[in-house]
Amino acid sequence: MTKPVKNNLFGLSGSLKDQLAQKMLEKRLKKVTEAKMQSGDVLRTRKSLQSNSKIPDEFCRFDMFPGYQQIKILEAGGEQLGVPSPFFKSHEGVATDTTVIAGKEYINFASYNYLDLCGHPEVSKAAEDAIKKYGTSASASRPVAGERPIQRELEIELAKVYDVDDAIVFVSGHATNVTTIGYLFGPKDLILHDSLIHNSVVQGVQLSGATRLTFPHNDWQALDEILFQQRRNYERVLICVEGIYSMDGDYPDLKRFIEIKQRHKAFLMVDEAHSLGVMGERGHGLKEYAGVDGHEVDLWMGTLSKTLAGCGGYIAGETALIDHLKFSAPGFLYSVGISPPLAAASIAALNILNREPDRVSSLKARGNQFLELAKDKGLNVGSSAGLSVIPVITGSSAMAGRLANACFERGINVQPIFYPAVQEGMARLRFFICSSHTEEQIETTINVLVEEMHKLK
Ligand SMILES: Cc1ncc(COP(=O)(O)O)c(C=O)c1O
């Protein structure tokens, strides 16, 4: 699975070699990134070219796309540094606290199966029953071709979690953010989001044509200040935050954000991808944890692919919002309905979540154990709250890649995160905790991390 690597960069050893290679890598990446940003200008200056023979190769060859060249540079950098690619590993069964890759069992921290519900017999049985009854696909868009009762049932159950009027389910979590934000807002509007917000929100804002401003991570005072200065220049204003931040594992002070959005007459959207099933006694997310009323947030967004053991995304909120999206959001109207087995799986997962809050407390106990042990050993866990997501920040991408591979060699599967998912210099290993992790697995993992980091320094 791993490629052979060249391990002789200038005959240098250890971290000096890493630093040089890292610098070279950054330089080359910067060059293609700049080329990417300038490609629009190049097009404008050359738009007068009349003849086809004068169209430069970069405009008609896939291998000359700057994005592709970035990937190739990173691959080559990995080889020079002796770091085999950690991507696209093939799992041979359900990934829970453990997983099997190439015939070997690993302690697993690379899946969002937070409450161990993907693979739960009740969830699998619900999906099997739905296949028997409805087949595997909804085969067309729901407004056009009609509903399956389980699609609607899932929406009603999700609305209950947030104690709001209704919910709408889309076929992808990412597409939920893109189409909802992209459709509801426009060029006269302003969208403010946390600097660490997920890519799907950024894509949605870009599609909308609204002005996009960021505020520093979790800094509600900075947000307030921007709104004091900017609110009057726009029609609608949307503020986007996450329940638990997917790279850092911390969360916003929701009550502050609600107070600010009310004062400035803005809409507030909370992406609960990593907090549903995790925060609050019953796992009902940031809403439950912060003790707010469901209607105090305008758009509750979440995904079905994590705690809910399916695939898809949802928006929960007031009737006027949900009906509007159902009749007009392109990602709903012009896209197939959620497949029956996935809807059935997520309903079953939600039932178990509601019935078995012990799963939520187990996850929290293991997350807390991981966080405290890691801190004791001097690992950099950033601002993580020690719930579903805990990063161990290594700094350089080379170190993150090497450490992930060293952990893998010792039976631990964890994904490294590099630029551009996080800024360069903030590369990390990202640990997803699940309710079935044992105390022993966490202890073993922290010990391995400390030993391997020590060896790599
Ligand atoms: C915060 C956040 N929002 C949205 C998504 C997209 O969800 P999905 O992977 O279910 O499409 C993710 C994915 O991990 C996420 O982390």
Q: pLDDT of 405-448, one tens digit each?
A: 999 999 999 999 987 788 878 999 999 999 999 999 999 999 99
Cα–Cα dist 115/308, whole Å: 8
Cα–Cα dist 85/70, whole Å: 15
Residue 86 maps to a domain: no
Task: Name the pLDDT band for 14 (thresholds 50, 70, 90).
Answer: very low
Token code pair at residue 244 = 């638990």
Atom of ligand 1 nearest to the CA of 306: 10
Nearest to 374 by CA among 446, 432, 303, 430: 446
Q: Are residues 387 and 324 in the same domain?
A: no
Q: Are residues 385 and 397 in the same domain?
A: yes
Residue 3 maps to a domain: no
List C-alpha distances in Å: 22 to 67, 78, 155, 171, 267.
Answer: 19, 10, 48, 39, 42
pLDDT digits (tens, 9 = 90+) for 53-66: 789 999 999 999 99
Q: Are residues 389 and 330 in the same domain?
A: no
Q: Are residues 35 and 168 in the same domain?
A: no
The preferred substitution site among 112, 174, 250 for testing ligand 1, maximizing ligand atoms within 8 Å of CB, is: 174
Report the pLDDT value the prediction gives residue 83, as an integer from 0 to 100: 78
Centre of ligand 1 from the C-alpha of residue 198, in Å:
7
Task: Name the pLDDT band for 380 (thresholds 50, 70, 90).
Answer: very high
Q: Are residues 263 and 369 in the same domain?
A: no
Task: Name the pLDDT band for 43 (thresholds 50, 70, 90).
Answer: low
Task: Name the pLDDT band for 10 (thresholds 50, 70, 90).
Answer: very low
Residue 89 maps to a domain: no
Report the pLDDT value the prediction gives residue 419, as an integer from 0 to 100: 78
Report the pLDDT value the prediction gives residue 153, as an integer from 0 to 100: 98
Centre of ligand 1 from the C-alpha of residue 314, in Å:
11
Q: Are residues 303 and 408 in the same domain?
A: no
Cα–Cα dist 422/159, whole Å: 33
Cα–Cα dist 295/280, whole Å: 17
Centre of ligand 1 from the C-alpha of residue 65, in Å:
26
Sheet of 190-194: strand order equals 166-170, 313-317, 299-303, 267-271, 237-242, 190-194, 211-215
Lowest pLDDT segment from 244-253, 392-401, 431-440: 392-401
Q: Are residues 240 and 373 in the same domain?
A: no
- pLDDT averaged over every residue in the chain: 91
Q: Are residues 230 and 298 in the same domain?
A: yes
- CB of residue 346 inside a 6 A radius of ligand 1: no
50 pLDDT more than 80 = no
Report the pLDDT value the prediction gives residue 8, as an integer from 0 to 100: 29
Centre of ligand 1 from the C-alpha of residue 170, in Å:
12
Residue 151 maps to a domain: yes
Atom of ligand 1 nearest to the CA of 112: 14
- CB of residue 111 inside a 6 A radius of ligand 1: no
- How far from the centroid of its chain's Cα atoms is residue 384's Cα? 15
Q: Are residues 401 and 309 in the same domain?
A: no
Q: What is the DSSP letter of 294?
A: G
Q: Count of alpha carbons within 13 Å of 94, Cβ hemisphere only?
A: 15
Q: Of 355, 387, 417, which residue is a domain's last?
A: 355
The preferred substitution site among 303, 307, 415 for testing ligand 1, maximizing ligand atoms within 8 Å of CB, is: 303
Centre of ligand 1 from the C-alpha of residue 456, in Å:
32
- CB of residue 275 inside a 6 A radius of ligand 1: no
Q: Are residues 33 and 108 in the same domain?
A: no
- CB of residue 388 inside a 6 A radius of ligand 1: no
Residue 174 maps to a domain: yes
Which pTM value belongs to this model? 0.91
- CB of residue 173 inside a 6 A radius of ligand 1: yes
- CB of residue 302 inside a 6 A radius of ligand 1: no
Cis-peptide, bond into residue 391, ω within 30° of zero:
no
Mean pLDDT of the region 371-397: 96
Domain range holding 312? 121-355
Report the pLDDT value the prediction gives residue 79, as an integer from 0 to 100: 84
Centre of ligand 1 from the C-alpha of residue 372, in Å:
27
Residue 148 maps to a domain: yes
221 pLDDT more than 90 = yes
12 pLDDT more than 50 = no
Cα–Cα dist 115/434, whole Å: 6
The letter for the amino acid at 403 is L
Residue with CA closest to ligand 1 atom 16: 246
- CB of residue 198 inside a 6 A radius of ligand 1: yes
Residues 112 and 274 sit within 8 Å (Cβ to Cβ): yes
Report the pLDDT value the prediction gives residue 407, as an integer from 0 to 100: 97
Centre of ligand 1 from the C-alpha of residue 173, in Å:
5
More confident residue, 396 or 262: 262
Mean pLDDT of the region 385-399: 94
Atom of ligand 1 nearest to the CA of 175: 11
Residue with CA closest to ligand 1 atom 7: 173
More confident residue, 77 or 370: 370
Q: Are residues 133 and 179 in the same domain?
A: yes
- CB of residue 305 inside a 6 A radius of ligand 1: yes
46 pLDDT more than 60 = no
- CB of residue 249 inside a 6 A radius of ligand 1: no
41 pLDDT more than 60 = no
- CB of residue 307 inside a 6 A radius of ligand 1: no
Task: Name the pLDDT band for 36 (thresholds 50, 70, 90).
Answer: low
- CB of residue 193 inside a 6 A radius of ligand 1: no
Q: Of 315, 336, 355, which residue is a domain's last?
A: 355
Q: What percent of the chain has pLDDT over 90?
A: 81
Task: Name the pLDDT band for 176 (thresholds 50, 70, 90).
Answer: very high
Report the pLDDT value the prediction gives residue 45, as an integer from 0 to 100: 53
Centre of ligand 1 from the C-alpha of residue 432, in Å:
14
Residue 221 maps to a domain: yes
182 pLDDT more than 90 = yes
Output b/e per residue, 320-342; b: 16+ Cβ within 10 A: ebbeebbeebebbbebebbbbbb
Using alpha carbons only, what angle is made at residue 335 by residues 331 and 339, rounded to the nearest 5 degrees? 115
Report the pLDDT value the prediction gives residue 48, as an integer from 0 to 100: 56
Using alpha carbons only, what angle is made at residue 236 by residues 233 and 240, rounded to the nearest 5 degrees? 110
CATH number at 348 reads 3.40.640.10
Residues 391 and 249 sit within 8 Å (Cβ to Cβ): yes
- CB of residue 172 inside a 6 A radius of ligand 1: yes
Centre of ligand 1 from the C-alpha of residue 312, in Å:
9
Task: Name the pLDDT band for 1 (thresholds 50, 70, 90).
Answer: very low
Q: Of 299, 334, 355, which residue is a domain's last?
A: 355
Lowest pLDDT segment from 48-57, 218-227, 229-238, 424-433: 48-57
Centre of ligand 1 from the C-alpha of residue 304, in Å:
9
Report the pLDDT value the prediction gives residue 2, as an integer from 0 to 100: 34
Q: Are residues 217 and 291 in the same domain?
A: yes
Element (H, E) at 194: strand 190-194
Residue 93 maps to a domain: no
The letter for the amino acid at 453 is M
Give the pairing type, strands 299-303 and 313-317.
Answer: antiparallel
Q: How many domains does the chain have?
A: 3
CATH number at 368 reads 3.90.1150.10
Atom of ligand 1 nearest to the CA of 313: 10
pLDDT digits (tens, 9 = 90+) for 283-310: 999 999 999 999 999 999 999 999 999 9
